[in-house]
Amino acid sequence: MRILPTAVVLLALSLGAISSAAGEATHSEIDQAITAAAGGSLAPIASDAEFLRRVSLDFAGKIPTSAEARQFLADRDADKRAKLIDRLIAAPEFPLRLEQAVTVMLLERRAGGKISEGKWRDWLRAQFAASRPWNEIVHDLLALEGDPTATPAAKFMLNDEKYDSQKVAHDVARFFLGMNLQCAQCHDHPTVKGFAQADFYGIYAFLAQTDMKPNKVTKAIMLAEAPTTGKIEFKSVFKPEKEFTAPRVPGAEDIAIPAFAPGEEYEVKPDKSGLPGVLKFRLQPLLARELTSDANRRFAMNSVNRFWFLLTGRGLVHPLDMMHKDNPPSHPALLDLLANEFIGHKFDVRWLLREIALSETYQRSTRAPSGTDLNSVKPESYRVANLKPLSAEQIGAATMVATGSWELLGKAAPVAEEEPNAQETKKEKKQKDKARSRADEGGKELPTTREDSLAAFVKTFAGPAGEPEVEFAPSMAHSLFLMNDRMVLAWLKPSANNLTARLAKLSGAAEIADELYLSVLTRTPGKDEIAEVENFLKKHGTDRQQALGDLAWALLASAEFRLNH
Amino acid sequence: MPKPAANESVESLLSEAQGPAFDPAKAHIGPAFKHERQLIRARFSADGKFVAAAGLDKLIHVWDLESGKKHTLPGHATWVSSLVFHPKGRQLFTADFHGTIHCWDFATPDSKPLFTITGADANITRALAVMLDGAHVLSGGDDCTVRVWSTKDGAKVKQWPGHKGCIFSIAVHPDGKSVASGDLFGTVKHWDFATDKCVRDLDAKELHTRKEDFIADVGGVRCIAFDAKGATMVIGGLSNAESNAFCPGTPLALLFDWGTGKKTQEFKLANKSDGPINAVRFLQNGMIAGFGETQNGAQTELAFWQPDKSEPLHSLKAQSAYDLDIHPDGLRLLAPLFIPMGSGGNGAREKQKANYIPNASVVQIFNLFADPKAKDPKNAKKKA
Amino acid sequence: MRRSSECGSAEHLISRRQALGTLAGAAVGGFGLSSLMQEAVAADMKQKGKQVLFIWLDGGMSQFESWDPKPDSEFGGPFRSIKTSVPGTHISELMPDTAKIMHHLAVVRSMSTKDPNHSTGVPRMQRGDPANRGVPYPYLGAAVTKLLGFPANGLPPYIWIKPGSAGFIYQEAGFLGSKYGALALGDGKPPIHIHRPESVTDETDAARHELRRLANARFRLDRRDSEVDAYEQSYEMAVQLMKRKELFDNTRLPAKDIERYGTHPLGRHLLQARVLLEAGVQFVKVTSYHWDTHGDNFNMSQQMVPQIDKPFAAIVNDLEDRGMLDNVVVVLMSEFGRTPTINSRIGRDHWPDAWSLALAGAGINRGALIGKTTKDGAWVDGEGYDVGDLFHTVFRALGINPNKAHYDNNGQPLPIVRDDCFAIDGALA
């Protein structure tokens, strides 16, 4: 293995050499880095079944059907895992899964503003479907002007009734630079040396001139930038004197602000009718460009760290938004390498996720080798694969697939394109409200679409608004939902070719257990598990239908189902 | 922020009053009296020769406008909530947060009250008004009852229960027979003095807010005024409060046709201001003046509205005010204004311990005519 | 001075060594091991069955309009001060009911804290202002859950009654792990889905849970327990709570109690808190929002303070009547007090410099009035107490020795309190 010091890699980059050293595949380099620093025995490679479930959840956002599982397990092709990864990446579920994960990451379950969540999701999914480079997607989130409702990407900056440059600056720092500058808004971070107040205001300076202005002609609310007057003044609550900063991406040079004579700032002057005008010099597009440029290593490092977290359950830098000197990466050279390679591969998310998934590190079992002191296995060692909680969307989809409801539930009629945004948002809200009332006790009708069913899961399992979803946070609300929700219980009653209907047609305990375990847990049952099924059915033979439902429920409610292991 | 003018302006006040033509569009800052504590009520005496003001320091401060001299009346045991002059003679009525009303001979320094009414309200007395004939003084407050007292000796004459929320304001109609009282929930009650009947309720619910998550009611009819003929009534307060903590909302004054009881106009401030309109007055040409209150010691405004327009014709930027009175000559307004003294804002002030002092106020006169000094363009330039 | 000397005390040194596993039986600094052991045993005995009622008036209740009236100072408001059941102690006239139960309370008038902001102040206060340890510290409810352990009754150990939304607020657990988080009841309503459809019989329910437990037991093999534990616990707690649905049935509450507590949110929520404490819930937090009276402070306080006065007096009386006051530590506080100066909106701003809070119940010195402010009410006169001191006090009241108990964060011992703080003088019985 050769891991080059950053400076050398940067030099190499500037000379145009972008691939990793000696032509070695990145996934092998990942494994070398992890193995070298493991500090203890490594878990074995996960079984085909475990791998299939894991990679399906990670790349398709749901588990495979029992038929798909059988097919994969029976496949004798030595290269079947790599082929599966490629199939999953090419499938339509992949952009959907990435959209869901990135939406949770960037919007943090906050709902609001004038841009409908549906349009945002459609837009983001289309970006991933078209394999747009990550830096270009992020660029589009920031380089906005004009009518935000016409640009779904604006939802990132405008997910509220009002535009708040402080909040956007804070989000940009956290999500794209791995810098949680919350404290730095009022003073230099008291405990983090690298996070200076000037960093926050440097970002803020790009955004401070932007605001929402109503266009008096079209009545639309426009995002418009006012002429930049100079440096941003800020004051620490701990220091008496005022300080100043120019627009600056942390770690980069100050942006020089050209001086214009008063009145000369505009290419096209703002119209009295409400057209914002065209500035000769705008800062917001500069932020988009500077932030996402190849030269901004922090952006690349933060990006790979977040995608790495998505697949391994733990950031190389963790917490994800605490990328600073006193919280070093667990594997600095690996983070460096991945960042360089990500830049070299033009921020190709598919490439990055594929390389991680191909690694043994990703494919390791979540079980430690027998006899290991479990307390000694640190999550940041990746010696043993980390357990990852299923997201609300993953639980919903997986429960539908496991119970066979996925096929039975229809798709919602697509929302008409020409409908005005405000109404569309209302419609979405209505749908959510509907799902909510159904999901609760008193609701009369059960959802008939995947979308509505999923909304009931999201309502229950989503984290609180404004909080990153990083840790496993099971709640009594989750368990009560699975225990008592009429929709979930209805899915366990035989219907058409759903799970319990299929089980009801089988007679032998082994057959039943086989179909049950493959459908819910994507694996074949062990001997003790077959015996358990047999005993349970014997004991509760009077109501076989109920007993089969209970067997399925117990697996749906198990930790094995709740976690991506 | 209006700077308190020098004392020579005070001395010249009355003589100056003879000449100038009424023109609220040219209203400007006149003389002022600074006080080291917050004052929340200020009124002109009926003859226009005195100003009385009171507030958080519990004392009654009286300025003789001719001499510019000030004297003090010993005051109350708690904050003064209301202050009103008798239409004739030398009586001044003041009320406080413990439900006590004092009647003073305002021109005699350090004099004891002529009489005192205790328990004028079960809790806080918030409003006072004197009937035009001077025979009775009316009070209202937390126990939702208007009470009528003799101005001779403070004997209780009668009372009018009926409000559902605490009474913030009382005004006497120019007909001398009708009384209006406004409460927390935005109800204005029209009373017939002779029969003690509540004639009707006028609805100003906009001036009260209680959103679902509030734990207190915000707003109230903070002030009432009638035009000289009694054809219209204007009231003020706060609408659309966003919380019961900062209590920020939209300052609002409402004009009512007194005959029909219908609301005919909503008045707004021109500048950003988040507190209630605490005081309103009719001017001699039918225009209406109202004063705002705002957070952080920022400037709000004294607004001048025409009855048919929502936006003010003219506004003077100023600190928050809690009362507004008009001089008998109709050419000047009077308001107690907030003066921040540098101890505002949130704490963690250990280091400023030594100079941590209460906020102050200024009793400010606003002239409703062209500033003679501003007439000369040279002078105007100098000022700029 | 007191602080620096005690900080290096022998007891402190021992507790450190003990936590590091190096206490080898040697007497250190004059303290014998046996006395230490006895103290530990005694502490265990004392903390049995202890509960906490933590009332949080979010935004900052004005000390002038409650515990520390200064009617004669330039900063005092318009309200009177009144006598209480403790001779010589006066509080605001806005708290007439509380005045009658002062002999059950310890009121601290000399809180002096650092943070004038809500956003940082609320977590800082509820976490006991831990010095920077590089990990997020648990809120008081989560800390007590960890330190006292999950009670045997199987009920959720930490319930948070609040206006607005419900949920499981795992963030309050900090580094302890999500199972120590707060179960939040929105407006006191039970969690949704608490009612089991009739189609699921008791027998079926028991059978399906048995299967679930067996599945989890198999999954545990060679995996770290924490995730499975947390998940398992979320089910077991749900099962227990479903058996106690009556705790959320307001129709069972006597009309007289509803009248005594009041029908406003604080009244309803404190009455529910009593029911939960009676049922054995270990830590109940009751939050009331919108005490941040920057505007119209006196009209707002006049309406709001009675909303805590009445139910607070009622619950303290009820706990006393039921013999529970010896067992339940009661804390009533905000993130700070309010400014002496009165602003342009006749409001008061944030004031951490000198403010008050009240304690009652187990281990608390009843009728105590602790500390004082200067004549004008602006500053602490004498020694001020920080929130770290409050945490020492609360833990000690619960029978936990804060200098001995430590958290174990993956093998790293972490103190449960700031080690440069101490229990508030005179607050403990």
H helices present in B12-162, as ranges: 13-16
Q: Would B123 be classed as within a structural domain?
A: yes
Query: Residue C142: left if φ>0, alpha if ψ -120 to 50, beta else—which one?
Result: alpha
Q: Where is pLDDT greater, at A385 or A420? A: A385
Q: Domain count of chain B?
A: 1
- What pLDDT is attached to residue A227? 86
Cβ distance C402 to C128 under 8 Å? no
Digit-coded pLDDT (tens) for B192-222:
999 999 999 999 999 999 999 999 999 999 9
The 3-state DSSP class for residue A208 equals: coil
- What pLDDT is attached to residue C8? 28
**Chains with 3 or more CB pairs closer than 8 angstroms to B?**
C
State residue B12 phi and psi, 5-degree precision. -85, 0
**Between chains, do A440 and C199 touch, taking CB under 8 Å as contact?**
no
**CA B11, B13, B18, B24: dihedral to nearest 10 degrees?**
170
Could you give the maximum distance between any two Cα atoms of chain A, in Å?
A: 90
Instruction: Determine if the peptide bond prior to A319 is cis (ω within 30°).
Output: yes
* Distance in angstroms (rounded) separating the CA atoms of residues A367 and C221: 7
| Residue C239 scores a pLDDT above 60 | yes
Cβ distance B300 to B320 under 8 Å? yes
**Can you tell me the mean pLDDT for C321-343?**
97
| Residue C192 scores a pLDDT above 90 | no
State residue A154 phi and psi, 5-degree precision. -65, -15
Q: Which of B217, B243, B275 sits opposite C345 (nearest CB)?
A: B275
Which of C296, C374, C375, C376 should we substitute to test contact with B (largest number of B Cβ atoms within 10 Å)?
C296
Digit-coded pLDDT (tens) for A124-183:
999 999 999 999 999 999 987 777 777 899 899 988 878 888 889 999 999 999 998 766
Q: Where is pLDDT greater, at A44 or C175? A: A44
**Between chains, do B359 and C59 touch, taking CB under 8 Å as contact?**
no
The nearest CA of chain B is from the CA of C99 a distance in Å of 18
Taking residue B266's Cβ as centre, other Cβ atoms within 10 Å add up to 14
C78 interaction partners in chain B (CB closer than 8 Å): 78-79, 81, 96-98, 124
- pLDDT bucket at A271, cuts 50 / 70 / 90: confident
Q: Would B346 be classed as within a structural domain?
A: no
Whether residue B50 lies within 8 A of chain C, CB to CB, comes out as: no
For residue B267 the two structure tokens come to: 């008045």
DSSP states of C169-193: EGGGGGGG-GGGSEEEEETTPPPTT
- What pLDDT is attached to residue C36? 38
- What pLDDT is attached to residue A9? 40
* Distance in angstroms (rounded) separating the CA atoms of residues C76 and C328: 33
Cβ distance B301 to B253 under 8 Å? no
Q: Exposure of A304 by Cβ count < 10 A (0-12 exposed, 13-18 middle, 19+ buried)?
A: buried
From the list A422, A407, A395, the residue with the least C-alpha distance to A149 is A422
Q: Where is pLDDT greater, at A148 or A448? A: A448
* Distance in angstroms (rounded) separating the CA atoms of residues A552 and A545: 11
The 3-state DSSP class for residue B277 equals: coil
Percentage of chain B surpassing pLDDT 70? Answer: 92
Taking residue B88's Cβ as centre, other Cβ atoms within 10 Å add up to 11
For residue C182 the two structure tokens come to: 């707060």
H helices present in B149-220, as ranges: none
Taking residue B379's Cβ as centre, other Cβ atoms within 10 Å add up to 13
Q: What is the DSSP letter of A375?
A: G
Cβ distance C176 to C162 under 8 Å? no
CA angle A127, A128, A130 (to 5 degrees): 65
**Contacting B residues, span 78-117, partner chain C, CB-CB under 8 Å:** 78-79, 81, 96-98
Q: Where are the domains of chain A?
A: 96-291, 392-564
> In terms of residue numbers, what domain contains B367?
7-341+357-383
Digit-coded pLDDT (tens) for A320-360:
998 988 889 999 999 999 999 999 999 999 999 999 999 99
Q: A270 to each of A260, A273, A276, how far by Cα in Å?
A: 16, 8, 5
Buried b (16+ CB within 10 A) or exposed e, B334-355: bbbbbbbbebbbbbbbeeeeee
**Can you tell me the mean pLDDT for A41-54?**
97
For residue B294 the two structure tokens come to: 């705002």
H helices present in A154-196, as ranges: 165-177
- What pLDDT is attached to residue C32? 34
For residue C108 the two structure tokens come to: 């601290």
The 3-state DSSP class for residue A438 equals: helix
- pLDDT bucket at C164, cuts 50 / 70 / 90: confident
Angle between helices A284-291 and A134-142 (to 10 degrees): 160
ipTM for the complex shown: 0.93
- What pLDDT is attached to residue C48? 58
* Distance in angstroms (rounded) separating the CA atoms of residues A514 and A523: 8
- pLDDT bucket at A15, cuts 50 / 70 / 90: very low
Q: Where are the beta strands (DSSP E) in B292-369?
A: 300-305, 314-318, 325-326, 332-339, 360-367
* Distance in angstroms (rounded) separating the CA atoms of residues C82 and B64: 39
Cβ distance A497 to A407 under 8 Å? yes
Q: Exposure of A535 by Cβ count < 10 A (0-12 exposed, 13-18 middle, 19+ buried)?
A: exposed
Digit-coded pLDDT (tens) for B246-272:
999 999 999 999 999 999 999 999 998
Parallel, antiparallel, or unpaired: how do β-strands C81-83 and B125-130 relate?
unpaired
Q: A191 to each of A230, A322, A450, C120, C121, how far by Cα in Å?
A: 30, 11, 46, 14, 17
Digit-coded pLDDT (tens) for B181-195:
999 999 999 999 999
**Can you tell me the mean pLDDT for C360-371?**
97
Whether residue B37 lies within 8 A of chain C, CB to CB, comes out as: yes
For residue C134 the two structure tokens come to: 């590089």
Sole residue written with tokens 């952009």: A95
Taking residue C21's Cβ as centre, other Cβ atoms within 10 Å add up to 8
- pLDDT bucket at C189, cuts 50 / 70 / 90: confident
From the list C114, C110, C109, the residue with the least C-alpha distance to C128 is C114
- What pLDDT is attached to residue A19? 44
- H or E element in which residue B209 lies: strand B208-209
For residue A293 the two structure tokens come to: 């440029």
Q: By CA distance, what is A371's nearest residue in C? A: C222
* Distance in angstroms (rounded) separating the CA atoms of residues B353 and B24: 44
**Can you tell me the mean pLDDT for B347-370?**
92
Give the number of beta-carbon pairs within 8 Å between A and C. Answer: 154
**Can you tell me the mean pLDDT for C201-221?**
94
**Between chains, do A551 and C181 touch, taking CB under 8 Å as contact?**
no
The nearest CA of chain C is from the CA of A191 a distance in Å of 7
CA-based end-to-end distance of chain C: 24
For chain C, helix (H) and strand (E) counts, in that order, are 12, 17
* Distance in angstroms (rounded) separating the CA atoms of residues A225 and A232: 15
**Chains with 3 or more CB pairs closer than 8 angstroms to A?**
C
Digit-coded pLDDT (tens) for C255-282:
999 999 999 999 999 999 999 999 999 9
- What pLDDT is attached to residue A192? 63
Which of A180, A483, A564 should we substitute to test contact with C (largest number of C Cβ atoms within 10 Å)?
A483
- What pLDDT is attached to residue B234? 98
Digit-coded pLDDT (tens) for C137-151:
999 999 999 999 999
For residue C325 the two structure tokens come to: 């006051």
Q: Which of B97, B340, B346 sits opposite C344 (nearest CB)?
A: B340
Among the ranges given (A421-435, B330-344, C122-136), the one the predictor scored with the smallest mean pLDDT: A421-435
Digit-coded pLDDT (tens) for A65-87:
999 999 999 999 999 999 999 99
Q: B16 to each of B12, B50, B51, B62, C24, how far by Cα in Å?
A: 6, 16, 17, 21, 94
Query: Residue B44: left if φ>0, alpha if ψ -120 to 50, beta else—which one?
Result: beta
Sole residue written with tokens 């009593």: C274
Cβ distance B142 to B166 under 8 Å? yes
Cβ distance C35 to C122 under 8 Å? no
The 3-state DSSP class for residue C288 equals: strand
Parallel, antiparallel, or unpaired: how do β-strands C158-162 and C283-288 relate?
parallel
For residue C207 the two structure tokens come to: 């059978």
**Can you tell me the mean pLDDT for A486-497?**
95
- What pLDDT is attached to residue B41? 98
- What pLDDT is attached to residue B139? 98
Domain at B76, CATH number: 2.130.10.10
**Between chains, do A550 and C211 touch, taking CB under 8 Å as contact?**
yes
Angle between helices A165-177 and A93-107 (to 10 degrees): 130
Q: Where are the beta strands (DSSP E) in C195-293?
A: 283-288
Parallel, antiparallel, or unpaired: how do β-strands C328-333 and C51-57 relate?
parallel
Parallel, antiparallel, or unpaired: how do β-strands C350-351 and C90-92 relate?
unpaired
